[in-house]
Copies of this chain bind each other. A is one copy, B any other.
Amino acid sequence: MSTSINLAVIPGDGIGQEVVAQGLKVLTAVLPQDVKLETKEYDLGAQRWHRTGETLPDAELESLKHHDAILLGAIGDPSVPSGVLERGLLLKLRFAFDHFINLRPSKLFPNTASPLAGRPEIDFVVVREGTEGPYTGNGGSLRTGTPAEVATEVSINTAYGVERVVRDAYERADSRPRKKLTLVHKNNVLVYAGHMWKNIFDKVGQEYPEVTTDYLHVDAATIFFVTQPERFDVIVTDNLFGDILTDLAAAVTGGIGLAASGNINPTGAFPSMFEPVHGSAPDIAGTGKADPTATILSVALLLRHLGFEDQAARIEDAVSADLAERDGTFRSTEQIGDALAARVAG
């Protein structure tokens, strides 16, 4: 825990700006007086691209390196061809800063719209690999646009990359009361990558004798997410399966408005980046309807990453308490931010 935080802020597109403003409000409210918060905003996203054609120039990538952490709102807009900002900005950051742990906790909060409300406690965390798999951009297309086109996507997996994320997941499982770790893959079809994942999972597991392990194919995992999510404690999985499963996890717990995430480089070599799981939701941008809670919970993950455990817990408790008292009345983005800022300041 340091005495200053030098934070990069990328509000991005759509509702990004609005939710990030509330995230910063709560961050300011929860920090001890003697911790100095410096923020620098980066103008990146759809508007920048329309204006200059740039997604993430080298100078800004370099500048971003010198922050303690990054808070990101949301990236993506229908006016930009699909993939341009995702690959050129969001994934570029995850890859350049070697964010190999994409951490996505799921918890069933009180009073949420979950179809599973009233079920036993749901409290698991997905450790999604963040730098490999089908996300490497390794692929191509031949005879593009013709009836003879062939397009490929290559999932690249290395023992180096798999072992480090699997080890991180074991560490997390080992430190939780239930000490349970589930590997999700599809090793009955993706036999090369799948078997490598499974072998490394088994090998590293020998170092964690107290952790109970389990393996599920990704298709079967989706069933359990719906019928028996309480069975999960820590889940480790590849980049694409993690993408799919964490949206589903959000849907079966509190909804996408509550799902937080951290793109973490645990070595500290580069700043880690925290962002809500949801997208830029251009349809509700500017209406005050966006729920900033996912961003605020991402701020909690950011604080925990920087060593401010008490402050992180304070935010999480505030969200629980706030939801428990929710009575269904509409509250704007700002009202939710104000309510949570007031709670954590208290």
Contact = CB atoms under 8 A, between A and B. Distances in A.
A35 interface: no
Copies of the protein in its oligomer:
2
Interface residues of A, number: 67
B87 A191 contact: yes
Contacts of A86: 188-189
A197 B338 CA distance: 44
A240 B139 CA distance: 17
A156 interface: yes
Contacts of A6: none
Contact of A115 (B144, B149, B189, B226): B226
A137 B193 CA distance: 11
A157 B147 contact: no
Q: Most chain-B Cβ atoms within 10 A of its Cβ — which of A91, A135, A150, A188? A: A188
B194 A223 contact: no
A87 B87 CA distance: 33
A134 B190 contact: yes
Interface in A148-169: 148-160, 163
A150 B162 CA distance: 10
A140 interface: yes
Contacts of A227: 113, 115, 251, 255
Interface in A86-140: 86-87, 91, 113, 115-116, 134-135, 137, 139-140
A247 interface: yes
A267 interface: no
A47 interface: no
A5 interface: no
Interface in A196-229: 196, 198-199, 218-220, 222-223, 225-227
A83 B251 contact: no
A150 B155 contact: no
A145 interface: yes
Given A115-B116, A149-B196, A159-B148, A243 B226 contact: no
7 contacts: A82-B198, A86-B189, A135-B189, A141-B192, A150-B158, A151-B195, A153-B190
Given A82-B195, A220-B279, 20 more contacts: A82-B188, A83-B187, A86-B189, A87-B189, A91-B189, A113-B227, A115-B116, A150-B157, A151-B196, A152-B157, A154-B155, A189-B240, A219-B246, A220-B247, A222-B244, A222-B247, A222-B248, A223-B247, A225-B251, A226-B226
Interface of A: 76, 82-83, 86-87, 91, 113, 115-116, 134-135, 137, 139-141, 143-160, 163, 186-196, 198-199, 218-220, 222-223, 225-227, 240, 243-244, 246-248, 250-252, 255-256, 279
